[in-house]
Amino acid sequence: MAAGQAVRGVGNRLFTLGRSEAVREALAQRSTLQTAQQLVTVLGGMKGGAMKLGQMLSVLDVDLIPEAHREQFRVQLAALRDHAPTTPFATMRQVIEGDLGPLPKVFAEFDETPIAAASIGQVYRARLHDGRAVAVKAQYPGVAEATHADLRNLALFSKLWKSALPSAADNAVLSEVTRNIGDELDYLREARSQHRVASRYRGHPFIMVPDSIEEYCGPNVLVTEFVEGYPFSRLQDLPDAERNRFGELIYRFYISSLFSDNEFCGDPHPGNILFAADGRLAMVDFGLYHHMEPEHVDFERTCLRAAGEYRADDLHELWSARGIIDPTAGVDTQECLEYVWAATGWHLLDEEITITPEFATGALVLALDPRAAEFRGMRHQLLPAEHVFSRRADLFTFAVLGQLRATNNWHRIAREWLYGEPATTEIGRALERWRAGL
């Protein structure tokens, strides 16, 4: 990719000699867009961790792309989530039959055209002999080896990051990332997780989770109930009130669940959210579903309370005692407080906030980018490994809501799990009645 960009750069410099500044700018933007298009092609073809990176980028406002072409680039990256390059069915059939045996013994019908292609597998529609419509997710051949190679490279390059972002190079953090990405390759584990979550949401008035059909699942094949519905893009086209309503449901599923159930989905992105035909939200893909020990959940809640109540000294003391702050880095109490507000202030500000892609990307950059001048001392923080994926879930839920441009007083919803207060929204009150069996 770098070589291709260099060749185009030389060609453009020669071609723009003697031309106007406007023409030079247009050609420079065209060259950058060509590089972006190549990035989509390369990430789509690599599968595994590289393709997942492309899916994650699709929910951010990517500054490296000229503003005039930014939306077009995001649409192309979104193709990695909704219409990624597919692997021929003959190849995927070998994977499915390797786990389940001959297709006709298990399925009465099987559509050979994939309905989705994700980072580690493709999804097909089929029908069991008992008449149930099902989704069949099968892993790409060799994807486990490719993903483990990505993770080995991650560890190799971590030595180069230590001076810039120590937390990303910490051995415990890398071990946690490796373990969880490895779990995503374990479809039997995912089937058990999905069944547990589907049981919890059975009969839910606003959210549905298709159940796994565990007797037809294997190490490389996951069979679940089929959801009739539409992609996330359909939600984006709804009127403001409806988008805001679905935004609250997304928040409750990805954020509130951690504090109410000590469990959460670590992979929020639009490809995992469907607009079901019955009007509910359908949540899919539980490869990165996590349980978190109650004491770690309580620690996050306690820190957010301290930040929300402007108790900077208490926050600094909590982080120091946990080893999050390097005592030699000179991070003061005010920087800790401002950092939390910059990264997670949407939970804490008691007013309506409209989340935009630019807003969400800004929070992610401030939280993670070691070049950010605002929090130079915070680049020495050491995020405990057990909080890596909960923070990822928080930041990328924010990014998904930015794609939806949802508006809400998020703090009023958060107070349910921050302080155990009664719900104040219509959806929250309806859920309280549902849980009470009323």
267 catalytic per annotation: yes
334-344: b (≥16 Cβ within 10 Å) or e: ebbbbbbbbbb
Q: Which helix (H) or strand (E) holds 283?
A: strand 281-283
Least confident of 28-42, 225-239, 402-416: 28-42
Mean pLDDT score, 271-280: 94
Runs of H (alpha helix) within 269-409: 294-308, 312-322, 333-344, 357-368, 388-404
Residue 55 has what pLDDT?
52
Residue 117 has what pLDDT?
80
Tokens of 118: 């994700």
Listed residue (357, 360, 362, 350) closest to 410, CA to CA: 350
Using DSSP's 3-state secondary structure scheme, residue 110 falls into strand
* pLDDT(88) > 80: yes
Runs of H (alpha helix) within 16-66: 21-46, 48-57
Q: What's 382's DSSP letter?
A: -
Cα angle: 337, vertex 290, 44; to 5 degrees: 95
Listed residue (267, 300, 262, 261) closest to 283, CA to CA: 267
Listed residue (364, 218, 206) closest to 273, CA to CA: 206
Task: Give 338-391 pLDDT, tens digit per residue.
Answer: 888 888 999 999 999 999 987 887 777 666 654 455 556 665 667 777 887 788
Asked if residues 268 and 397 have their Cβ atoms less than 8 Å apart, the reply is yes
Query: Going by DSSP bridges, is the β-strand pair 281-283/353-354 parallel, antiparallel, or unpaired?
Result: unpaired
- Cβ atoms < 10 Å from Cβ of 207: 16
d(CA 75, CA 58): 7
d(CA 87, CA 402): 32
Task: Give 181-217 pLDDT, tens digit per residue.
Answer: 667 788 999 999 999 999 999 999 999 999 999 999 9
Asked if residues 375 and 343 have their Cβ atoms less than 8 Å apart, the reply is no
* pLDDT(69) > 70: no
Q: Catalytic residue, from 61, 170, 267, 394: name it.
A: 267
SS3 of the chain: helix, strand, coil, percent, to 5: 60, 10, 30
* pLDDT(30) > 60: no
Residue 8 has what pLDDT?
43
Residue 138 has what pLDDT?
95
Listed residue (329, 305, 311) closest to 382, CA to CA: 329
Runs of H (alpha helix) within 83-228: 89-100, 103-106, 143-161, 166-169, 171-184, 187-201
51 Cβ contact partners less than 8 Å away, ≥ 6 residues apart: 43, 44, 80, 84, 118, 119
